Structure 1
Amino acid sequence: MANNGEPADIKHVKSISKIWLVPFIAVCMGGWMFYHQWSNQGPLISIVFENASGLEAGKTKIKMHNVDVGEVKSIELTEDLQKVLVTARMSANSEGLLRENTEFWSVNPRISLNGISGLNTLVSGTYINMSTNLEGRSSRDFVALSAPPITPSGTPGLHVTLNSNAEFAFKEGDPVIYKGLKVGEFESIYFNFDERVVYYNTFIQAPYHKLITTNTKFWNTSGVEMDIGANGFKVKSSSIETLITNGVAFGVPEGMPQGERVNERSYFSIHESYESAAEERYKESAKFVILVDDTVRGLRIGAPVEYRGIKVGKVLEINPPNGKQHKWLDSGVAIPVVIGIQPGRVEQTDDAAGIEFINQQIKIWVENGFRASLQTGNLLTGALFVNLEQYPNAPVAQMEQFQQYSVIPSISNEFSQITEKVSAILDNINDMDLVQMSSAANQMMADISASANSMNSTADDFAETLKEMDEQQVSVKLAAALSGIAELTRGFSSGSKTNNEIYDTLETLQHRLRELQPLLLELNQAPNSLIFDKSPKPYLQPGSQPNTQQGNR
């Protein structure tokens, strides 16, 4: 083209170098990986902790049942600088675990009265544990627990709330005991300022939660229980665990029906002991008043009321307010004691009909000598109880009224009766005129002395009279008596006639006895020989004739 003198035709070729395919492919792969990572990563959550002890960003794991489900990404202070905000990335399959009731807490080595936990973190390091029951709405913001929960969420069982008017006797983690076996724990404590009652949220583990019924009673079994009352001295203890910490036991008291099973959170009261819990089966009481003239020291509310040794009720109130609180301080005014006789204890229905029966029966009995008295139930402590008895010789009495209560007449107890008798004796002694008695005694001693002197004088006169007797006359009579005795002795001496006659009689008697000796021997061998013939009889054998030869032998 140059040779012809024409200009060259230049064409521009538009093309992309194949080398650019490499970065393009790299960008696509990176984008795909980013999209895949973004679409498969789990949600980002925030957890507020009290402090960040043991937590590290990029290292601390979040676990559930020892399976990693997330990781801590960052740790920073909250806006008020009071707590720590932890941001964590959860795994993709943990989306359904993040509910509003999901719980988080850090796991560290812990040593307490309830045991030792978190020892595995000495090797693996601190981690965050979580639990959930898959209930409630989805959430991304959480507040961590300050300590591991007593019962993780989702644990099968039953939550109940216990209440007590007593002091704060229990703490989180204290056991719930059933027949010596730990079946639950106290979870949390709440004090209601308006009611001034302590509430304990408690969890009963499955399958023991099936034992909770409408008639279930809870009672305190903490440490060693000692009771010194009218029934004596009692010492009780539950399990070794409750000796170290506190705890409660539960069950249906003997004599009560099992009741219906409880399937949702219910409220129960904590009783002081099993005995006080068992008292709950007696709902109704027929109330009476006894007016006590003696001291009520040693009598307490809850003390037993007994009839001939059988408990039929308890003391409900001592000196109830009646608008005349100061009158009982006056001399001779009795102190009222309110008692309750429970129909259920005397084989009556525990309702209004049972109370009416008790009221009518007591009225009849009072007219026939039914009386109340305070008795000593424990000599060591001086604890008293109310004893009801029939006294046939008691004066006739009618039931009176004290406020809204019927009055059961009372008598002094045995100790008071003895004291009254001793006091009466001392009063009689004090009333004696000791001066007059002393004068009379002196006069009596003077009379005795004069009588003694008179007797001495009489004895002297009698001795003098004996001396004046004729001694010669006495001697003559004594000599005559001795002479008669000598004459009698000579009549029985050897060679005398009397002596010879006695000898002949004895010899004749001896001869007759020798003659009777053979006869006596024969009678001794054959007592019937005087009646039957002594000749021998022929010897007979069964089925043969008499053998005369054998009989003559």
Structure 2
Amino acid sequence: MSSDHQSPNSASSEASRPAGNTPSAAGAAQPASPTVKPRKPTRISWIWLVPLVAVLVGMSLLVRDWLSAGPVVTISFESAEGLEVGQTKVRYKDVVVGLVKDIRIADDRSSVLVKAQLSRDGAKYYTQESARYWVVRPRLGLSGVSGLGTLLSGAYISVDAPNDLDDGETVTFFKGLETPPEVTTGQLGRRVTLLTKDLGSLDIGSPVYFRRIQVGRIIGYSLAEDGSQVMIQAFIDAPHDRFITSDTRFWNVSGINVSLDASGVEVRTGSLAAVLAGGVAFASANPFNTQPAPEDATFALAESETEAMAEPDGPPFRVDMIFRQSVRGLKLGAPIDFRGMELGEVYDIDLEFDEDEKRFHVLVKANLYPLRFGGAYDRLSDEQKADSYPAPHLLGPLIKHGLRAQIKAANLLTGQQYIALDFMKDVEPAEIDLKAYPFTIPTVAGSFDKLQEQLSSVVAKIDRVPLDQIGKDLQGSLASLHRVLDGLSNVGPQLGDTLKTLKLTLGKLDGMLDADSPMNAGIEDTMRELQSAARSLRALGDYLQTHPSALIRGRSADVLPAP
């Protein structure tokens, strides 16, 4: 068994032994025993450091992301156009401050909910209640083109955060804006409110001009609480906002204004942007006033520059007028005229029924401006001026002297009418109640109404004429005339002979009156004799007037001239 299993060392020694030598050879030297050295322990390979470093880097990145990650906010938009999960970024002043993590439809399916992970730095500003979010994408409008940079980079969500922190709790749900705000936080300038009757062609983004230089824009509009006016919010950029003073006047420069007066046709237009998108201009009525107006000041927006720069009229007061005739052609806004001066305008026309008289009448309501009455308003006492309703004190004395309201034609072609105030003669006295509100101005019929009444009176008189009886009498007269003509027909032959004799007589008379007839020649000689006698008598009269003594002494002898 030992022969079958030899150690490797012995086998190797035998193999290395030279040929011809055998172990049994006498005197052979014994080999040295080998030195066995134990193997060193196995070391870890350097290749394992690579995944270890990767794991450490990954963990550091996760820790850094966890430490830098801020709150998650949810933004509601009407559409998710251009937004992508993991791609769309949230930016503040073009600095990335977040990333969209999720987009889903709201439970009521009315909007899209976008969840964005914000960074921890500055997150307390982006979660304030006053923060605003909107999607920046290419937009084309009348005021210009915006968002062109997103054509290459793609749409992103922009945030406008306040500069100061509120004491309240942070907010994580926001209603996104569908259009970018016109004014962002920190933009220097001044907000003003403009009051006008209607918006016209103005819109958000319409320019505001000062000396034809754009210095601001319209940032919003809304109706007043009573719905009577439109409140337009405008923003004037710094440093031009210093020109907004208490004497500043605003007017509309939208479209094309055409006016026709005695000097001819005048056409006024603003810039092309103002013609297309509307616009507002302003100027100061008192250039020496440099005191800025208070913040969020309110101004009236006039229709034209002429109207804006005119002297203020003060707050209007209401008056009523009752007309019992047709007011066709009288429209809202019709002027109230007093000898060519416009004192106010009509703002309402109603049809009412008078229970006492059992008839309808038209109630016209108008606004009059007290400052337009000039000296009449200046002569009122301070107490009466302080009264919020000066109509009785201002119009009462004028009505006592015959002031009445009358509808007159403003344009015969269009049929438009206006109300004229003037002093009328021979009018019935009117009762005046100084405590009545609203104050009523007495009225008289207009010129056309008077003409209509006169025509109606004439027609009524014609109706009272007994035309039937006159017709019967005329018919009887015609019958009598017919009988007379029948009687004349019996004397026709005798009348013919008489006419022939009359014709012969007239012929002879014509011959006697002929220029060559003897009678005419005799008459001419007689006339010549009479003229000669008249001259002699005239000469005798002249002589007697010169020599009256000739009637007694006779005519003196002619004295011959001395040789």
**TM-score (normalised: structure 2):** 0.57
The change in CA–CA distance for 1:328 and 1:213 in structure 2 (over 3 A counts) is farther
Compare 47-56 and 110-119 and name the one that shifted more: 47-56
Structure 1 residues 258 and 342, CA, compared in 2 at 3 Å: closer, same or farther?
Answer: farther
Question: Structure 2 residue aligned with 1:344, among 371, 376, 397?
Answer: 371
Find the partner of 2:502 among 462, 475, 490. 462
Q: Distance in 2 between matches of 1:139 and 1:357?
A: 54
Report how far residue 383 of structure 1 moved.
Answer: 2.1
SS of the residue aligned with 1:420? helix
**Contact 2:243-2:290 at 8 Å conserved across structures:** no
State how far apart, in whole Å, the 2-side matches of 1:263 and 1:136 are: 25
Q: Deviations over 1:417-464 (max 9, x none)?
A: 3333333444444444351685598589879988xx999886544335
- For each residue in 1:242-267, what CA deviation from the matched residue of structure 2 results, as whole angstroms up to 9, or x when unmatched? 5545x563657979998974443356
Contact 1:400 1:407 survives alignment (8 Å) = no
**Counterpart Cα distance in 2 of 1:180 and 1:444:** 93
**Pairing of 1:42-441 with structure 2 (within 5 A):** 42=68, 44-49=70-75, 50=77, 53-55=81-83, 60-66=88-94, 68-70=95-97, 72=99, 74-75=101-102, 77=104, 83-89=113-119, 98=126, 100=128, 101-137=130-166, 141=172, 143=174, 144-160=176-192, 172-176=204-208, 182-187=214-219, 202-212=234-244, 240-241=272-273, 244-245=276-277, 247=278, 249=280, 251=282, 261-266=292-297, 281-284=312-315, 289-315=320-346, 317-318=348-349, 325-326=354-355, 330=359, 335-339=362-366, 341-347=368-374, 348-349=377-378, 353=384, 362-363=395-396, 365-366=398-399, 368-391=401-424, 394-395=425-426, 397-401=428-432, 404=437, 408-432=441-465, 433=467, 435=471, 438-439=474-475
Q: What SS does structure 1 have at the residue aligned with 2:140?
A: strand
- Residue 276 of structure 1 deviates from its aligned partner by 9.0
Residue 72 of structure 1, CA deviation: 2.7
Mapped to 2, the partners of 1:193 and 1:467 lie a distance apart of 106
Q: Quick one: percent identity of the two aligned structures?
A: 23
One-letter amino acid of the structure 1 residue matched with residue 180 of structure 2? P
2:194 and 2:233 in contact (8 A); partners too: yes
Q: Aligned partner of 1:83: which letter?
A: L
SS in 1 for 2:115: strand
SS of 1:122 mapped into structure 2:
helix
Provide closer, same or farther for how the CA distance between residues 381 and 179 of structure 1 changes in structure 2, counting only shifts above 3 A: farther
Q: CA deviation at 1:346?
A: 2.0
Whichever residue aligns with residue 119 of structure 1, its letter is: L
Alignment correspondent of 2:40: none
Contact 1:46 1:140 in 2 (8 A): no
TM-score by length of 1: 0.58
Structure 1 residue 292: Cα displacement:
2.7
RMSD (Å), alpha carbons: 6.0
Structure 1: which 5+ runs fail to align? Answer: 1-16, 228-232, 486-553
Count of matched residue pairs: 446
Q: Which runs of 5+ in 2 are unaligned?
A: 1-42, 260-264, 526-563
Provide closer, same or farther for how the CA distance between residues 207 and 430 of structure 1 changes in structure 2, counting only shifts above 3 A: farther
> What amino acid sits opposite 1:294 in the alignment?
Q
For residues 165 and 189 of structure 1, the distance between their equivalents in structure 2, rounded to whole angstroms, comes to: 12
Cα distance per residue 1:8-48 (max 9 Å; x no partner): xxxxxxxxx9999x97xx98x969x9499949985534343
- The alpha-carbon distance between structure 1 residues 467 and 76, as it changes in their structure 2 partners (threshold 3 A), is closer
Q: Is this contact kept in 1: 2:247–2:289, CA < 8 A? A: yes
Structure 1 444/65 Cα, relative in aligned 2: closer, same or farther at 3 Å?
farther
Contact 1:399 1:408 in 2 (8 A): no
Aligned amino acid, residue 152 of structure 1:
T
Q: C-alpha distance in 2, partners of 1:97/1:480?
A: 136
3-state DSSP of counterpart to 1:298: coil
Cα distance 1:209–1:19, how it changes in 2: closer, same or farther (>3 A)?
same
Q: Is this contact kept in 2: 1:397–1:409, CA < 8 A? A: no
Distance 2:170 2:124 in 1: 10
Secondary structure at 2:371 match in 1: helix
SS in 2 for 1:382: coil
Quick one: distance in 2 between partners of 1:363 and 1:259? 42
CA distance change for structure 1 residues 186 and 361 in 2, over 3 Å: closer, same or farther?
Answer: closer
In the other structure, the counterpart of 1:547 is none
Shift of 1:169: 8.3
Against the structure 1 CA distance between its residues 113 and 282, is the aligned structure 2 distance closer, same or farther, given a 3 Å change threshold? same
| Contact 1:73/1:87, CA 8 A, preserved across alignment | yes
